[in-house]
Structure 1
Amino acid sequence: SQTQTMVHEFDDAAYALRGTGARALIVRGAGERAFCSGFDLAEVGDIQAMGVREFLRFQEAATGGLAAIRQLPFPVIAAIHGPAVGGGLALRRTRSPRRAHRRRVAGDGIRPRRLVPPHRQGHKVKLTGVEVRQVRLPLVAPFRTSFGTQTERTALLLRAVGTDADGWGECVAMADPLYSSEYTAACADVLRRYLVPALGRHRRLDAVGVGPALEPFRGHRMAKAALEMAVLDAELRTRGVPLARELGAVHDRVPCGVSVGIMDSVPELLDAVAGYLEEGYRRIKLKIEPGWDIDPVRAVRERFGDGLLLQVDANTAYTLADARHLARLDPFGLLLIEQPLDEEDLLGHAQLAGALATPVCLDESITSARTAAAAITLGACSIVNIKPGRVGGYLEARRIHDVCAAHGVPVWCGGMLETGLGRAANIALAALPGFTLPGDVSGSGRFYRDDITEPFVPADGHLPVPDGPGLGVEPLPGALEEFTVGTEWIPV
């Protein structure tokens, strides 16, 4: 079984083996009839008793040790001769480029399995280059938040071209640095000058290796997330594995929520909410700002009743001095108030959380598993909105999910007006067990008359989780041509 000591030994072993001239590493179980049947149950109690920061350090050690093994500059062979479940599955996947089986336990029986040729496993991707495509999609209606009004969506779509398969990624940065410091032109620049060339220095790599390869470059999480997503899609398409399965999804459909922008009048808002409820949306999120908060929330609650799942999103529009005013939202029974204060003000959020009955949820403040752990420890939030682009990718998003789930903090999947590519990936993420609140995974028609992919259409207030390899969706050639305003090829 895996133990806390073992996860540290992986990292030590990887460090000790570099530069030794070793030509291969064989990972095997110590017993005669076992490989690794999971984590040592005797240590589960110790893990459950960990504080948030201690658990984060354990999680980093567990994932970091396996990642170090995976990045060794020679083949790693997992010699499986018994059950490989739970933690053993993660250990099995350290192998590269092949795995050796004498026999494998599968379901209720044992069946032989031949050695899988490296070119068929597709565990690592050999890139030839990345196509960066700028697209511009008109919105069906203006979308107003506390930081501005959007009438169109400008996005970067990345196509990672490999020798075995191509993969798609989407950069969620906006055209202007209003939601965050990143914006599309800057993302295109850093991809061209730094990030894509950094991947080109690796003969082959998988999605797990993208983060370490890009780590020397500070920030630029949205650009990094898009590149990781494209490599992950290519890797999974080669392996024939859906993204949802790779992330650990447990649902085959997810409930739909919808984000409603700031309107010109309360009657206009009520009409919009009524329309979304008629379409079957399970949760309504209202954008708010000073001067547009108490009255619209009251009107929606009175019109649609206490049974409506209702929450608000401030996008950092308030200060701690507004605490008494925001407390006037408490009587309306909201699911949460999202990011009321500045993204860097964790202590202010902790103070505000103590002054409100409405749960505080953080969005812009959560940029990694580390910041999530810090926010939970400080009491700055009791709910977390996970946006993969904001945190650097879907693998980091899963780490945040795990940290929150281990400490009873609900999470939900936020949205950034993604096209069908990013929407498909978000749906896969939202199918993980810790996503217990409806997210911003609305149908394509919420924002676009025509999407880049086949549209996602809610049924009974839910969207199906794509089950094809990788993202499970492909761009439509005609739509790509129609909405593309520029392309650039970056060789590696």
Structure 2
Amino acid sequence: MIVREINLYHVQMPMLEPWVTAYGSQDMIESLFVNLKFDEAQGWGECAPAPLPLYNTEYTKGAFHVAHDVLAPRLIGRTISSPDNIAGLFEGLKGHEFTKSAFETAVWDAYAKTLEEPLWSLIGGTNPSIMVGADIPVLASTDALIDRIAEAIDQGFPRVKLKFNRQCTPDMIEKVRNTYPDLVMHIDCNSGFTLDDMDMFQRLDHFNLKMIEQPLAYDDLIDHAELQKALQTPICLDESITSAQRAAKAIQIKACQWINIKTSRVGGLTNAIAIHDLCQQNDVPVWVGGMLESAVGQAPSMALATKDNVGYPCDIFPSSRFFEDDFSAPDITLSQNGRITAPDRPGCGFSPKMDKLHKHSVATARIA
């Protein structure tokens, strides 16, 4: 497959409600869409780093620049026989995993289409029926949080994830636990705390949380290992895991008991599969996260979530959860309570609605 044309779209999509986390509040999602055209097929990829470098060092405007000035010139006109070739074409380029992932997953989409096979099946997935959970942002009050959890339970979600920042308290979690004693839940700290907060974490240790996700700095492993030693509650690493090498080090020093895999955070589906397989070999369970992408961006995550070592309901969301009208078609819908079915269409199974893509684009580029 020869890369004949590359199209880039920096888009902004208003959200139905602000998404409040430990690193701030977002009222829109900014995404980079990458379209690669080959003679045989075309592929789509998407990444959605934050509008500012708050989740990690990447942000969408920067991703568009790197895509246009650095990555696209390395791909245009090149022959790609499989997605494994991408790592070699990007060799020597440090970081920018989100941006790389948008290109890499676009190659996966086109490659699977040429083979006329669904992406999840191509990568060795075994169960297209994916358990998913409900994620709840930081809300104004504990009562509002309890009401939102009740809605999630009524909708049949098997677990809830609560965003947790410095305005949140162990008392809030205690009230939730007393209200829902059997609820499977965990908190996501988005790297908002330090070891100075040990007393708070030890209080949280009493509330039967399934895990505490990324409590400490986004690039840390060492302090997480110290915190894990002090807690019964498992720590799950998210932002800290950017490669299979980082995952191996985290496992070696016992920095966590779970790993969240986001295809965009680790540079694409190939690296995500490598982390999944490494964790499986070391008896460390994983689950699949997301960045509130459209269906195009969530599709590689759906494929990954069909693999054997995924042991917890994933962050893959119905299209109606965050947006009035998703960028992509068809919509992602709940196939039954708390489950989403990976598509049986060739490739990733989703493509953008071009009218919406153009309407919401703040920058575009064509490289040919």
Q: Which interval holds the TM-score relative to the shorter structure?
A: over 0.9
Cα deviation, residue 456, structure 1: 1.3
1:392, CA displacement in angstroms?
Answer: 0.5
RMSD: 1.3
Q: What SS class does the counterpart of residue 155 from structure 1 fall into?
A: strand
User: What is the DSSP-based 3-state SS (H/G/I as helix, E as strand, rest coil) of the residue aligned with 1:175?
Assistant: coil
Q: Does 1:313 align with 2:192?
A: no
Equivalent position to 1:480, from 338, 349, 357: 357
Q: Which residue of 321, 335, 342 maps to 1:465?
A: 342
What residue identity is the alignment partner of 2:123?
A: L
CA–CA separation in structure 1 for the residues paired with 2:361 and 2:153: 33
Alpha-carbon shift at residue 378 of structure 1 (Å): 0.2
* Structure 1 residues 58-137: aligned runs within 5 Å: 125-137=1-13
Partner of 1:229: 105
Distance 1:482 1:275, change over 3 A: farther
Cα deviation per residue 1:147-199 (whole Å; 9 max; x = unaligned)?
11011111111111111111000022121111011111111111111111112
Are positions 1:490 and 2:367 aligned together? yes
Counterpart of 1:187 (choices 63, 71, 92) is 63
2:294 maps to 419
Q: Distance in 1 between matches of 2:208 and 2:135?
A: 18
State how 1:264-343 maps to structure 2 within 5 Å. Answer: 264-306=140-182, 308-343=183-218
Equivalent residue number for residue 441 of structure 1 = 316
2:40 matched to which residue of 1?
A: 164
Q: CA deviation at 1:469?
A: 0.7
Pick 1 or 2: higher relative contact order, CA cutoff 8 A, min separation 6. 2
Q: Counterparts of 2:151 and 2:13 in 1: how far apart (Å)? A: 23
Q: Which amino acid aligns with 1:252?
A: P
Shift of 1:478: 3.7
| SS of residue in 2 equivalent to 1:422 | helix
Question: In 2, Cα distance between the equivalents of 1:435 and 1:198?
Answer: 34
What percent identity do the matched residue pairs reach?
37
Counterpart residue identity of residue 242, structure 2: T
SS of the aligned residue for 2:40 comes to coil
TM-score between the two structures when normalised by the length of structure 1: 0.72
Residue identity in the other structure for 1:413: V
* 1:373 match: 248
Give the structure 1 partner of residue 96 of structure 2: 220
Which residue type is aligned with residue 433 of structure 1?
A: D
Of residues 159, 166, 177, the one that matches 2:53 is: 177
- C-alpha distance in structure 2 between counterparts of 1:203 and 1:297, whole Å: 53
Separation (CA, whole Å) in 2 of partners of 1:241 and 1:437: 26
- Contact 2:161–2:185 (CA<8 Å) still a contact in 1? yes
Contact kept, 8 Å, 1:258 with 1:441, in 2: the verdict is no
- Report the Cα offset of residue 201 of structure 1: 5.7
Tell me what 2:284 maps to: 409
Which shifted more, 474-483 or 331-340?
A: 474-483
Stretch deviating more after TM superposition (361-370 or 187-196): 187-196
The amino acid of 1:460's aligned partner reads N
Bigger proportion of residues as helix: 1
Secondary structure (helix, strand or coil) at the match of 1:331 reads coil
Deviation at 1:428, TM superposition (A): 1.2
What is the match of residue 26 of structure 2?
A: 150
Q: Which one of the candidate residues 236, 259, 277 is aligned to 1:361?
A: 236
Separation in 2, partners of 1:436, 1:293 = 28
| Distance across 2 between alignment mates of 1:485 and 1:279 | 36
CA deviation map 1:191-232 (0-9, x unaligned): 111111112363344211011110221111111010001111
Task: Answer with 196-205 or 434-443: which moved more.
Answer: 196-205
Cα distance in 1, alignment partners of residues 220 and 55 from structure 2:
16
Does the CA contact (< 8 Å) of 1:454 and 1:476 recur in 2? no
SS of match in other structure, 2:8? strand
2: CA distance, partners of 1:445 / 1:281: 15
Runs of 4+ with >4 A deviation: none
Structure 2 unpaired stretches of 5+: none
Q: Secondary structure at the match of 1:417?
A: coil
- What amino acid is aligned across from residue 38 of structure 2 in structure 1? G
Deviations 1:466-490 (A, max 9, x none): 1111101222334334433332102
Structure 1 position 305, deviation (Å): 2.2
Higher Cα radius of gyration: 1
Name the SS for the 1:446 alignment partner.
Answer: coil
Amino acid of the structure 2 residue aligned with 1:467: D
- Code of the aligned partner of 2:46: E
Tell me: CA distance 1:279–1:478, structure 2 relative to 1, closer, same or farther (3 Å).
Answer: farther
1:351 equivalent in alignment to 2:226:
yes
